[in-house]
Structures are given as structure tokens and as C-alpha cells.
Amino acid sequence: MREKRLLERLRAIEQDPDWRGEADPKAAVASVLGHLGKILNTRQGSAPIAADFGVPDFTAIASSFGADSIPDIEEAITKVIRRYEPRLDQVQVSFEPQPDKPFTIVFKLAARVAVEGRQTPVVFETILSPDGRITVLE
């Protein structure tokens, strides 16, 4: 049942009062994927939940991208995921060069999703576009 966030569980119960939620790794991954998209597209300082919720504004970094920027972006993404997505463990973010897409910055996000006491390995692709928007794909 913990594979979904609280609001997702409340919506499911509202739609089906008899729903009790069974452990479903696919539902957990889908929920984590959606939550990561929200976290990574929120700019730090813009959410009333906490000043450090979200990521720094990467638009300046993306427009003048260089090899020295990579560790800073990897660290920022890793830090916010570890803090605000507790269902993920062993989070590793690594740069994935894309020679055929010079205006996008791609990172591989490898982690483990905890579902009912079991750890399921996952790998997501995190794409930082030139406008600063981040897309997370399974």
C-alpha cells in the first residue's frame, strides 16, 4: 500500500471505498516516476513546503554547459531525490553523453524502489532541456 503517495491513496479510496491497496511494484514505479517529475520541475525557493524542495534553476547551466557543470547538476538532482523521495534508495545519478542531441543534457538515474519490504531496481532517464524543464522517463 505504501507504493503510492498519501494523496494518491486517498484518491483511490475516494473512487473506490473498498480499495485497500495491494503491493504492486509497477504502481510504485509509476508513482515514483510522477513524483520525480514534480520534484525536478520545481525550482528551489518556489514551494511553500520547504525552501530546498526542488532543484536550482538549471537554465543558465544548460545554456553554457560545460564538463565542469556536470558534477553540480548530478549532485543537485541526487540530493533532492534522496531528501524528498523516500521510496528510493541507493540513488545514483550519472551523466549520459548524447552526441546526437547537443542541446539536451541526459542523466541516468539508478536506484531501488522499496515495495512492501522488497527492493526493486529501477533505471530512469532524466532529460534536462535547454529551457530548464526536466523529463523523467522509465
pLDDT digits (tens, 9 = 90+) for 89-132: 999 999 998 888 877 889 999 999 887 778 889 999 999 887 77
Q: For residue 28, what are the domain limits? A: 6-137
On the CB side of 34, CA atoms within 13 Å amount to 10
Length of the chain: 138
Q: What is the Cα gyration radius of the chain?
A: 16
CA-CA distances (angstroms) from residue 14 to 17, 20, 30, 105?
Answer: 6, 11, 20, 40
pTM, two decimal places: 0.78
Domain membership flag for residue 25: yes
Residue 66 has pLDDT above 80, yes or no: no
1 within domain boundaries: no
**Confidence class of residue 63 from pLDDT cuts 50, 70 and 90?**
low
The reply to whether 41 falls in a domain is yes
- DSSP SS3 for 76: helix
Total number of domains constituting the chain: 1
Sequence letter at residue 126: T
List strand residue ranges (DSSP E) for the chain, in order: 88-95, 105-115, 118-128, 134-137
Q: What is the CATH number of the domain that holds 114?
A: 3.10.450.40
pLDDT reported for residue 1: 44
